[in-house]
Amino acid sequence: MFEARLVQGALLKKILEAIKDLLTEASWDCAQGGIQLQAMDNSHVSLVSLTLRSDGFDKYRCDRNLTMGMNLASMTKIMKCCGNDEIITMKAQDEPDTVTFMFESKNGDKISEYEMKLMNLDQDHLGIPETDYACVIKMPSGEFARICRDLSQFGESMVIACSKNGIKFSTSGDIGTGNVKLAQTSSVDKEEEAVIIEMQEPVTLTFACKYLNNFAKATPLSPVVSLSLSPDVPLVVEYKIEDIGYVRYYLAPKIED
């Protein structure tokens, strides 16, 4: 038997919004320690890795490890039936064919239940090597979303260049060029408003704007995003999810032909 109750049901709604445009379907792997999801987009350019720890749920029970293959468009339909202030409980039997989503209003006088058919997904899991990144940037997630949105008007690719002086995002296309430079913050009142750069060596890499814009759909999950870069390896874009876990996006760079 599997049961996971989340009083802050809006978090699960936001998580789904953060992955549903990138992934058509995905396996939710449930174990005693929590729920994990790892999936590539259809083009195999990016990878989503989601971890929700069991201790972040208000109630969590998982007697046997189980994998629930879900169509994310179907799950989105169900999540639209859940109010932002409602409590979500996910339930499934051992070796399940279906998963049940139960939504409770805060005062308990309305309970909705939706049962969704599961899919058999033969998804490969990829091993993500431990990496000491050359540059790790922490910045306000809203600022990152804004930069991705602004620069993607000009070209399909964005160059991210990080040095000790700061970080520069740039693009070029038919109508011209654009760039945004962010300096490391010297002093801030609020930590989540800071731009913090931890740099071992400078890095310049090129990425597809389309994917970065997709990752930015996780912005409502966290005020801060971290970008980890090293030469010739995928970029990691991480959003922490309150006290429960994180969503990480890995994006393969554009490389010299």
Partner 1 sequence: LRKQASITCFFRKK
If one asks whether residue 257 binds partner 1 (CB under 8 A), the answer comes out as yes
In the three-class reduction of DSSP (H, G, I as helix; E, B as strand; rest coil), residue 135 is classed as strand
Q: How far apart are the C-alpha atoms of 227 and 182, rounded to whole Å?
A: 13
With left for phi above 0 and alpha for psi between -120 and 50, is residue 34 left, alpha or beta? left
Least CB distance to partner 1 at residue 50 (A): 16
Both tokens of 113, joined, read 């239940």
Contact stretch for partner 1 (CB under 8 A) within 21-29, 176-184, 236-244, 248-256: 248-256
Chain centroid to CA 159: how far?
A: 21
Q: Which is nearer to partner 1, 27 or 157 (CB)?
A: 157
If one asks whether residue 206 binds partner 1 (CB under 8 A), the answer comes out as yes
- C-alpha to C-alpha distances, 138 to 179, 218, 230, 238, 242, nearest whole angstrom: 19, 15, 15, 9, 16
Q: Which is nearer to partner 1, 47 or 199 (CB)?
A: 47
Q: Which amino acid is at 162?
A: C
Which of 120, 127, 176, 186 touches partner 1 by CB under 8 A?
127
Which of 109, 124, 130, 174 touches partner 1 by CB under 8 A?
124
If one asks whether residue 44 binds partner 1 (CB under 8 A), the answer comes out as yes
Residue positions counted in the chain = 257
Phi, psi of 137 (to 5 degrees): -115, 130
Least CB distance to partner 1 at residue 118 (A): 22
| Residues 78-117: x where in contact with partner 1 by CB under 8 A, - otherwise, as a string | ----------------------------------------
If one asks whether residue 255 binds partner 1 (CB under 8 A), the answer comes out as yes
If one asks whether residue 252 binds partner 1 (CB under 8 A), the answer comes out as yes
Which of 10, 31, 40, 119 touches partner 1 by CB under 8 A?
40
If one asks whether residue 213 binds partner 1 (CB under 8 A), the answer comes out as no
Contact stretch for partner 1 (CB under 8 A) within 10-18, 73-81, 92-100, 123-131: 123-131
Nearest to 224 by CA among 136, 142, 150: 142
Residues 6+ apart with CB under 8 A from 223: 140, 141, 142, 192
Residues 6+ apart with CB under 8 A from 142: 219, 223
Both tokens of 63, joined, read 């007697």
Q: Which amino acid is at 226?
A: S
Least CB distance to partner 1 at residue 13 (A): 27
Q: Which is nearer to partner 1, 124 or 189 (CB)?
A: 124
Chain contacts with partner 1 (rule: CB under 8 A): 40, 44-47, 124-129, 157, 206, 208, 233-234, 250-257
